[in-house]
Amino acid sequence: MYFDIAMPLTLFAVTIVAMFLNDKVEKKLKVTFEEREFGVRDAIMLVAAISVAVSVIVFIPQMAVVAVFLFAYSMLLFMFTYIFSSFKKAGAQLFSAAFLILSFLAATVSLFNLSSINGTTTYGALAFYCLCGFSFIALLYEEARGHTRERWYLAVLPPALFIILYAFYGKTPLWFPYLLNLYGAIFAVLIILYLGSLFTWKTTVIFASLLTAVDIILVLVTRTMVSAATHVSALRLPVLITLPTTPQITTQWGILYMSLGLGDFFFAGLIAIQTFKKFGKNLAVFSAVAMAVSFFIFETLILNFEFRAFPGTLMIICGWLPIVAYKVLKERNKYPQTETL
């Protein structure tokens, strides 16, 4: 019997990290978004927008898809860095110094790695030296800076690093699977934190129900989700986390890899965060474990019965729903409603 523990453990890890980080950053994000929250209509519109985007993405030219995703990811990195860049001067200097050293080492290694030198890596080395120079200027400016408000020049560094790595090293073994999965996990956590602060328990339940239904239709009925994932994954954009099975499964085409979209990670993180806020930490952690176990069971069935694709939201919600339903029923029995005459 074939089975895999790598992807369920990754799903659990991303969910847990996002859940506990949300407890630390939610207040800051809510202030930034002026305490705004999604209503029922917003949740429905978001599901509709996701459905339309998945349906039409296969018809969009690849360069346009790359441009849109790079812009969205870069803005996400910039926004989070900017919002939380009001730390002390020593922290800002350390942040700038880290990018200075990292970009210098990356540029030097790329320039003098003669076994793989070509036009692309040469330009990549020059781009890294430019990033190194900008980091050095930021370090000098920080020394003379008198206040600790948000710093736009620090927020530029993470998206610049991401674009350089994708543009010049996206077709190298360094990008896939290592950096691709690393950025996939980072963006999964950031998306969960960004949108998670806008949801309430009510809108989460409605959103989760509708998205699961739509996912089932797009994956099993129209197969649109499969086509969209194939179209985008060929561009090596961090829209999926792709891992070799553990224990390793080898087919006639080589080592078998399993993929899970960032939307599924967002789905699991969102319902875990709302469970945390509604019922507390212990039940939220237990629900995250249940989601990973449910995913493991479904994935085992997929591996042994050779399904090509299966709705990830359904695999996840089948673990979460029994835990939450039991808790809700238990609380209702504990505090029965009484009618007054």
Average pLDDT over residues 107-114: 78
Q: Which of 44-53, 90-99, 180-189, 248-257 has the lowest mean pLDDT?
A: 248-257
pLDDT tens figures, 196-222: 888 999 999 999 999 999 999 999 999
pLDDT attached to residue 321: 96
- Predicted confidence (pLDDT) at residue 119 exceeds the cutoff of 80: no
Q: Which residues contact 54 (CB under 8 A, 6 or more apart)?
A: 218, 224, 225, 228
pLDDT tens figures, 244-264: 999 998 888 888 999 999 999
Give the separation between CA 134 and CA 94, rounded to whole angstroms.
Answer: 14
Q: Which of 130-139, 310-319, 326-335 has the lowest mean pLDDT?
A: 326-335
Query: Could you please report the per-residue DSSP string of 255-275?
Result: E-EEEEEHHHHHHHHHHHHHH
- Predicted confidence (pLDDT) at residue 50 exceeds the cutoff of 60: yes
pLDDT attached to residue 330: 86
Percent of the chain with pLDDT over 70: 94
Q: Which residues contact 284 (CB under 8 A, 6 or more apart)?
A: 19, 272, 273, 275, 276
pLDDT attached to residue 339: 46
**Residue 203: how many other CB atoms lie within 10 Å:** 20
Tokens (6 digits) for 27: 């207040």
Tokens (6 digits) for 242: 């792709």
* pTM, full prediction: 0.91
pLDDT tens figures, 79-94: 999 988 887 888 888 9
